[in-house]
Amino acid sequence: MKNKYFFTLLPIVDLRIVLLVLALAVASTLALYAYRSSVLSSKPLPGYEAALAVRDALTAGRLSGLEVHVSQVPMLLNITVDGREYVVQASRVLVCFRARGAPVYEEPSARPWRSWGNGTHAGAVSWIGVRDDGSTVHVYFYSASITGKASSLCVSSQGNAVLTLASKQGCVSGYCWSGARSLIVLRRVVGSC
């Protein structure tokens, strides 16, 4: 007797085995595609040493060649002049990037830019700069005109005066002076070039 259906002539194969082989083939193809895409498209993360380069570039006034994230944090600047207390609303600027092996660290330095890390990100964070030329004490802090991603940053070398006082003696951020001086507190701006 002749069979009406062709599939009954094929040898019987367990459907579970066919599905398992097919699933393994699809999974291995997807895994290979994902691996090749991630290896070919991703660059290795910079290390903490790049934070030192960012710090130095911002100190020099211009950062380029590295995509960074810029944010601003408020800060109070306490100043004592001739026995009187002044509080200035100031800010710090954080310029960071994803980094491999970044320590949890902020450089203890008198520099206006310090290297910084939090475990997954690294970069530089601003602090207060003080310059005393014998007749004027310049105190400056940084604010950001942009926040978010940036690939090129410039730092203003001048600044906008926030407070100006005449003094005989005073202290700000651990720096103290005596003798007649003008005190000028300046805001320097970090923004796009």
Q: Which of helix, strand or coil describes residue 146?
A: coil
Q: Tens digits of per-residue pLDDT, 131-179? A: 999 999 999 999 999 999 999 999 998 889 999 999 999 999 889 999 9
pLDDT at 40 over 70: no
Contact predicate 107/124, CB 8 Å: no
- The whole-angstrom separation of Cα 82 and Cα 99 is 45
